[in-house]
């Protein structure tokens, strides 16, 4: 993580040097842009969890520095007509960097949420399938389905399995041949036995 941060900051400094050396944009604006970009990189790469205030503070500092950088470039463009185009380009760069970061953050956030959703769905279906196999084994041994959840717990010798932290699956026998397993979260997931025409049903909670 530190290596990635260091490489990104060095690249930022190189870009800033090129802008100042060859494009001749306002030095103060370039310095502020580099500091703002470094703050964004720190906010993006810093560990989350208990250290989230550091990321938030770095992101806030970056926004302030980008605004200050844009103001410096605009003032320089108005005062020095010979370099107006270069300083206007510097202002555009500052705005573009900030907007690109917000867009990228949104895309990354969507990807993370999608992965968490898929992981959550997989972790939910695994205990459902495993318990379904146990119930079918009990059906073969008893010649019938367990009457209710209490009997199923007694036959298994253990409580109903969890599917998320302390939340546990629920069993209901629909009739002599069919049963359902339920878990409640953002969605209510119904899992039916193999003899049922419907195997999975989702309802919004």
Question: Environment class of residue 8 by beta-carbon count within 10 Å: exposed (0-12), middle (13-18) or buried (19+)?
Answer: middle
pTM for the predicted model, two decimal places: 0.55
Q: Are strands 200-204 and 167-168 parallel, antiparallel or unpaired?
A: unpaired
Mean pLDDT on 101-130: 66
Structure confidence at residue 36 (pLDDT): 92
Indicate the average pLDDT of the chain. 81
40-54 burial code (b ≥16 CB/10 A, e <16):
bbbbbebeeeeeeee
Structure confidence at residue 118 (pLDDT): 44
Strand partners, 168: 162
Helix, strand, coil tally for the chain in percent (to 5):
70, 15, 20
Write out pLDDT tens, residues 76-87: 999 988 889 999
Residue listed under structure tokens 């196999």: 133
């Amino acid at each position: 993580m530190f290596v990635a941060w260091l490489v990104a900051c060095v690249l930022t400094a190189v870009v800033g040097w090129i802008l100042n050396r060859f494009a001749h944009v306002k030095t103060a604006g370039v310095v502020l842009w580099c500091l703002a970009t470094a703050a964004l990189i720190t906010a993006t790469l810093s560990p989350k969890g208990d250290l989230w205030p550091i990321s938030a503070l770095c992101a806030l500092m970056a926004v302030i520095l980008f605004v200050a950088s844009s103001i410096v470039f605009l003032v320089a463009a108005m005062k020095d007509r010979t370099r107006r185009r270069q300083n206007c380009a510097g202002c555009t760069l500052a705005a573009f960097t900030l907007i690109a970061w917000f867009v990228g953050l949104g895309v990354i956030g969507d990807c993370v949420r999608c992965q968490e959703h898929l992981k959550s769905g997989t972790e939910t279906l695994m205990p459902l399938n495993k318990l379904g196999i146990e119930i079918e084994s009990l059906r073969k041994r008893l010649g019938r389905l367990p009457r209710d959840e209490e009997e199923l717990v007694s036959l298994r010798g253990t409580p109903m399995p969890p599917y998320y932290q302390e939340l546990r699956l629920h069993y209901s026998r629909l009739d002599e041949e069919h049963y359902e397993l339920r878990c409640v979260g953002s969605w209510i997931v119904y899992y039916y036995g193999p003899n049922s025409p419907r195997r999975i049903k989702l309802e919004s909670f």
